[in-house]
Amino acid sequence: MQHNRISSKFNCCVSAPAMTLLAACLATTIASAQVIGHSKISDTEGGFGGTLDDFDSFGRAVTAIGDLDGDGVGDLAIGARLDDDGGENRGAVYIVFMNADGSVKSEQKISDTAGGFSGGLSNQDWFGCSLAPLGDLDGDGVMDLAVGALQDDDGSFNAGAVWIVFLNTNGTVKGQQKISASEGGFTANLGETDRFGTSVLMIGDLDGDSVRDLAVGARNDDDGGTDRGAVYVLFLNADGTVKAHQKISDWMGNFAGTLADGDGLGWSLAGLGNYMGFGTYALAVGAGGDDDGGTDRGAVWIMALAPTGHALAHVKISSTEGGASPALQNGDNFGRSCASTGDLNGDGVADLAVGSPNDNDGGGDRGAVWLLMLQQGGVASSHKISNTEGGFQGALDDNDYFGYSCRWAGDLDGNGVNDMLVGASSDDDGGSDRGAVWVLYLTNPDAGPFSPFCSCDGTGTQPPCGNAGGPGRGCANSANPGGGLLTGSGDAIVGADTVVLQADDLIPGQFMVFFQGDNAIDNGNGIVFGDGLRCAGANVWRYYPPMIIDGNGSVDSLPHSISGDPGASSAVNPGDTKHYQGWYRDPNGPCGQTFNLTNGISITWQ
């Protein structure tokens, strides 16, 4: 199966200041597909040419870094924390230069022996365990990068460190500055196994000195009890050294939340803008070992920060707090990653992705990511993406740990919804635990009862003659290389429905037939049929008479009543999920079969 196709709009994957990437947290699960396509970067897929070894843990951290090489296409940084360049588990980072079609153009490795990095790593440092773009910190016009090394031994065993890496446009290192218990002007008292550098996030210019600042997690800090965790707010100088800092923990930083031993505050970090409404920066902080509702289910804390770095207020999101709760299980470790997503559902409030890498959907520790829709001051809804939910068609295996990292990727496919980068750090492509990164193309997860499926973009069943369409669409036709698009609107209430099916980008003047089926064929991937893919099957009902496509290539289902047309095979009852598609004539189609089909959509009826 091919996974490496991304829209030519991959160049939308540009780094934005973290202070503009808003987000927040979660709620009840609803059955709704959010993923309309995917691609994979691994040792065997996506055109990646780097050399990965067993247990490298490629994908433990990932971030978009903007267009580093100036070719108009956004690029990525991907961590491989257990890479052995120079010694055992010293770690590495790959700067991955992308093509416009989503494949990898080239890569530059940064490690103890590659890429011009001269900082000096030691065995078991885990350099690359966390990543954050810093913007142009030193003013040379090139993106810079923060890299965590959570088991660095400066000061004490596994106290941790962060490297500020100043980049060249070819991905090599111009210079570096270490921040640790003994370097970089950092004066905090890091303890043994604090693991400072577990997470990193650029938080904008919090103190107003025109230099961007940095938040750093230390998940095993012992303030108040064993491994309760902490977050440090670092006020930086332009050379990457620390001007001042503020610690937030069970004892410090005015944090009034209640932590327990093993909570691991600081597992992950994401920027929330002014979500808390205080006119200052807010921060989402993962606590993957929190025990609300059961052992190690995990949690996320939202904190409003004062310009001094102190906490002004907080909200906790867990299995039992923060409004409607996600359906977490013991050991899920929700909060081991989190990422700003922007406003996914268009309600004017930012949303958040949270990783749950030990989720067991489909098999042990395959992993999951939750998309969390917010309303101001609370939670509106949550949506799960896993081996069995959310429309994700990628192949996950036991112990892949999908969701160990996640980050915002911008709107790669141009559908108006931001997309996601998700790490699966123990994926076995090419060998044991080499790791992988998935690119997920998202749609509005609150699009009511309408869930798209069966895209002819090459991520599922391959198109009949290489005529792939765009993400979330049917196969390419003679009038539109993006393919036909089927959408739905209205109220899906049996007996009183106002549902209208709308098809666009078809062949003007030709006719089309909407049809309904009980099943999504081949688990939603579809089968080749004419110039397209047939997606809906079993007890098929066709809405006759056929409709004539207008001069713009569009047609809708009026005057048909989608739930009310007569015929036993079209019967719709409350609670049913039915599958819909459009068949249309294309006499000059690319495969010579004279007809094609749109993507499919599923409708859950009330």
- The tens digit of pLDDT for each residue in 169-195 reads 999 999 999 999 999 999 999 999 999
| 27 closest CA partner among 386, 445, 416 | 445
Q: Out of 121-130, 218-227, 412-421, which region has the weakest mean confidence (pLDDT)?
A: 412-421
Cα–Cα distance, 159 to 166 (Å, whole number): 23
- Predicted pLDDT at 588: 96
Query: If you ran DSSP here, which 8-state letter would residue 554 be given?
Result: -
pLDDT digits (tens, 9 = 90+) for 265-289: 999 999 877 777 777 788 999 999 9
Q: How remote is the C-alpha of 23 from its chain's centroid? A: 13
pLDDT band, very low/low/confident/very high, at 23 (cuts 50, 70, 90): very low
Q: What CA dihedral angle connects 199, 203, 207 and 210, to 10 degrees?
A: 120
Cα–Cα distance, 69 to 73 (Å, whole number): 8
| 325 closest CA partner among 276, 390, 380, 272 | 380
Give CA angle at 79 (370, 222), nearest 5°: 70
Sheet holding 265-271, edge to edge: 265-271, 282-287, 299-305, 311-318
- Predicted pLDDT at 217: 98
Residues of the chain above pLDDT 70, percent: 89
- Residue 10 above 90 pLDDT? no
- Residue 567 above 80 pLDDT? no
- Predicted pLDDT at 3: 31
- CATH of region 8-442: 2.130.10.130
**Alpha carbon of 203 to those of 66, 259, 280: distances in Å?**
17, 23, 11
Cα–Cα distance, 415 to 412 (Å, whole number): 8
- Predicted pLDDT at 365: 98
201, containing H or E segment: strand 196-202
CB 143 within 8 A of CB 66: yes
Cα–Cα distance, 112 to 92 (Å, whole number): 8
Cα–Cα distance, 478 to 505 (Å, whole number): 10
Sequence-distant (6+) residues with CB within 8 A of 466 are none
Cα–Cα distance, 543 to 567 (Å, whole number): 10
541, containing H or E segment: strand 541-542
**What is the DSSP code string of 368-413?**
EEEEEEEETTEEEEEEEEESSSTT--S---TT--EEEEEEEEE-SS
- Residue 16 above 90 pLDDT? no
pLDDT digits (tens, 9 = 90+) for 382-401: 889 999 988 888 999 999 99
Cα–Cα distance, 506 to 480 (Å, whole number): 7
Mean pLDDT of all residues in the chain?
87
Give CA angle at 21 (427, 446), nearest 5°: 75
Domain map (residue ranges) of the chain: 8-442, 450-604
Sequence-distant (6+) residues with CB within 8 A of 495 are 563, 564
Within 240-342, strands assigned E span: 242-249, 265-271, 282-287, 299-305, 311-318, 337-342
- Residue 573 above 80 pLDDT? no
- Residue 11 above 50 pLDDT? no
- Residue 22 above 50 pLDDT? no
Cα–Cα distance, 120 to 107 (Å, whole number): 22
